[in-house]
Amino acid sequence: MTNSPGIADRFPKDPELRSLWERAVRRERWHAKDGDRLCCVHFAPECFDRTGQTTRLRAGSVPSVFPAFPEHLQKPVKRKRPGRKHEDTPANNCSPQHEKSEAEEEPPVPSPTKQWYKEKVSASEEEITRLKKKVKTLQQTKRRLTKRNETAQEIIKEIRDQKLLSEEGSQVFTSSFSSDIQQLLNRAGNKQKGVYTPNLRAFVLTLHFYSPAAYDYVRSKFNDALPS
């Protein structure tokens, strides 16, 4: 509705608010019926909500403008404080109401279910990160082992091509070299000298026994990790 002359609003259904309207009209022994209306000119301008496209009467507003009455009757209308059941829409003096929603008044309480899922997601992400690191480490180890195996096969092929060993020595070297290549590579990479495991010592002595030339060749390939 609007506050233009001739526009009327129905008497409220709420008994207490309707009683306030009836008292404001000042008709003795008169009670409004369902469907009775009151012209909007009897409401103060601040009783109207003009924030939308349509001007509406604010909830809980009470008529207070009756120009036809004598001045001694134009006194403020006493308003009865509504009971608890009407706290949401009290009779007001038409001043703007600023109501806070429950979400504004109290912070939301975290849902136990949401918190549980959040913790599970966090734990899963940590596990994924750990597994990725483990896979990366395994891939690096695999590449190193593949490279070492290729190096061993290359050395065996070069020794055969250069005929640095006899056929018997070549067979012994081939069968024993693959099991000791790891130690040789570790010693070469760490530049470790002077300490030899029994297996490596046996391999060195066997290789030198069959061919000093083959021994020198292998020694040169591993940064002189073998004794001279």
Domains of the chain by residue range: 8-95, 131-221
How large is the average pLDDT for residues 41-63?
Answer: 85
Percent of the chain with pLDDT over 70: 61
Residue that wins the pLDDT comparison between 107 and 185: 107
* pLDDT exceeds 70 at position 128: yes
List, for residues 146-194, the tens digit of each pLDDT value: 665 666 677 778 877 887 777 777 777 777 665 555 566 565 555 555 5
The half-sphere exposure of 29 on its side-chain side, counting CA atoms within 13 A, is 0
pTM above 0.75, yes or no: no
List, for residues 62-100, the tens digit of each pLDDT value: 888 876 555 555 555 555 565 555 444 444 555 444 444
* Confidence grade of residue 200 (pLDDT, cut at 50, 70, 90): confident
Question: Of 17-21, 78-82, 138-142, 182-186, which one has max mean pLDDT?
Answer: 17-21
DSSP-derived 3-state class of residue 141? helix
- Determine the pLDDT at residue 86: 46
Residues 6+ apart with CB under 8 A from 49: 55, 56, 57, 58
Which helix (H) or strand (E) segment holds residue 129: the answer is helix 112-161
118 token code pair: 């959040």
- Determine the pLDDT at residue 131: 92
Residue 31 contacts residue 40 (beta carbons within 8 Å): no
* pLDDT exceeds 70 at position 59: yes
Cα–Cα distance for residue pair 159/220, rounded to 1 Å? 13
Name the packing angle between helices 198-210 and 212-221 (round to 10°): 130
* Confidence grade of residue 61 (pLDDT, cut at 50, 70, 90): confident
Residue 226 contacts residue 191 (beta carbons within 8 Å): no
Residue with tokens 């990160």: 129
Over the chain, what is the mean pLDDT?
Answer: 72
Cα 209 → chain centroid: 68
